[in-house]
Amino acid sequence: MNWRRSCAIIIPCFNEARTIARVVQDAIRYLPCVLIVDDGSLDLTAKEAKRAGATVLRHSHNQGKGAALATGLAAAHDQGFTWALAMDGDGQHASSDIPKFFHCAADTGATLIVGNRMQDPDRMPPLRRFVNRWMSRRISARAGRVLPDSQCGFRLIHLPTWRSFALSTRHFDVESEFLMAFVRAQQPIEFVAIEVIYKAEQSKIRPFTDTLRWFRWWRGADRA
């Protein structure tokens, strides 16, 4: 597999001007096509990303991480890529972990490979660690298999498989919907251990609003 030709990096961004240039510069060493989806940022995210060598797609207003991810994946698919590697723009994913995803896909045939931070969970902020474990246990029970880190956005995605799903979430609940779509389609899913990086940046997750969205998705998935 020639990953440099078959895979694009997708980075949904909202107000990440301070970190995005370094993220792009690090990532582009592994894959030449880096697509930034600027989700209505009010800062210089788009300018900094272009300066670093990324192609920038822009939403005129903030629509949510799920919507930005869908825009990036659709663009990669339309450009003829077979795979997309989703990363965050805040520097919490180490580009040096990228080859692990490629090796896992080649060795296992999985169509979704997810980063696993739970091998070193003590480096996560306590609230995030608790919420991730809580959600992962519930999704694992519904899936009938262990999904150790259901909320990690560092993912290698087989685009033709993704294209066959009708995903609807537009915010942070997209991580959960993605997993369950692949589970229900009986697609092989694997996890790879990744470096846990947390700095002083404030999370874009809004605890009350995004938790309510997650429960709405959960109830809808239960009915489905």
69-126: per-residue pLDDT in tens? 999 999 999 999 999 999 999 999 999 999 999 999 999 999 999 999 988 877 787 8
Of 6, 3, 65, nearest in space to 37 by CA? 65
Closest CA to 24 of 91, 72, 71: 91
The one-character DSSP state at 186 is T
pLDDT at 124: 80
- The total number of structural domains that make up the chain: 1
Q: Which domain covers residue 11, as residue numbers?
A: 3-223
Tell me the one-letter amino acid at 194: I
Kindly report the backbone phi and psi dihedral angles of residue 7, in degrees, each rounded to the nearest multiple of 5, phi listed first. -130, 135
pLDDT, residue 156, reads: 98
- Give the C-alpha separation, 39 to 55, whole Å: 14
The partner residues of 9 in beta bridges, in order of sequence, read 34, 85
3-state secondary structure of 48: helix
Name the amino acid, one letter, at 139: I
Q: What is the pTM of this model?
A: 0.88
The CATH number linked to 148 is: 3.90.550.10
> For residue 57, what is the enclosing H or E element?
strand 55-59
DSSP letter (8 states) at residue 69: H
* pLDDT value of residue 129: 84
Extract the tokens encoding 8: 């694009």
> Are 220 and 142 spatial neighbours (Cβ–Cβ below 8 Å)?
no
**Nearest Cα to Cα of residue 136 among 180, 100, 186, 99:** 180
Block mean pLDDT (10 aa), the chain, length 224: 96 96 97 98 97 97 94 97 96 96 98 93 80 86 92 96 89 85 96 84 56 64 55
CA angle at 126 for the pair 123 and 128, rounded to the nearest 5°: 90
